[in-house]
Amino acid sequence: MALLPILHYPDPRLHTKAQPVAVVDERIRQLVRDMAETMYAAPGVGLAATQVNVHERVIVIDTSEDKSGLLALINPKIIARDGEQECEEGCLSVPGIYDIVKRAEHVRVRALNEKGEPIEFDADGLLAVCVQHEIDHLEGKVFVEYLSPLKQNRIKAKIAKRARITA
């Protein structure tokens, strides 16, 4: 397994729309393992392939306290959504930045697992937020794009300032 480099906002590659996975093979299973290792090391609760510069529809999520609930979703699709919740979100591609985003409270998800088997499940709470957040990445959207243009500009300025300080 290997830790993968995570792209940071406003890297334009984060806006690349991911392509469907044609076949779930050993290459995809290795990607899932590497993405999981990268997510846990970061540490985070979700990671989309887009964030590691792989533009295929693969996400990993683990919202468990003890890191025992890894969920690999290949070609995930939200097939139903209901309700509304506001949740503070952060992102491994936008480190240190958190803000409130409106999301559906409940979602029904269809995907393939890492064995290539079809799965379907309902998610609410944090899992629903994570699924929506990571699928957004596959569509080329970062959570800060839900914020006002003023907040987006402040975030970009803060990130640029951080980059100058560490350079």
Active site residues: 134
Q: Would you say 87 is a known binding-site residue?
A: no
Q: Would you say 106 is a known binding-site residue?
A: no
Biggest CA-to-CA distance, the chain: 47
The conformational region for residue 75 under phi > 0 = left, psi -120 to 50 = alpha, else beta, is left
**β-bridge mates for residue 101, sequence order:** 87
How long, in residues, is the chain? Answer: 167
Q: Would you say 55 is a known binding-site residue?
A: no
- Identify whether the C-beta of residue 36 lies closer than 8 Å to the C-beta of residue 2: no
**Which residues line the annotated binding site for Fe cation?**
91, 133, 137
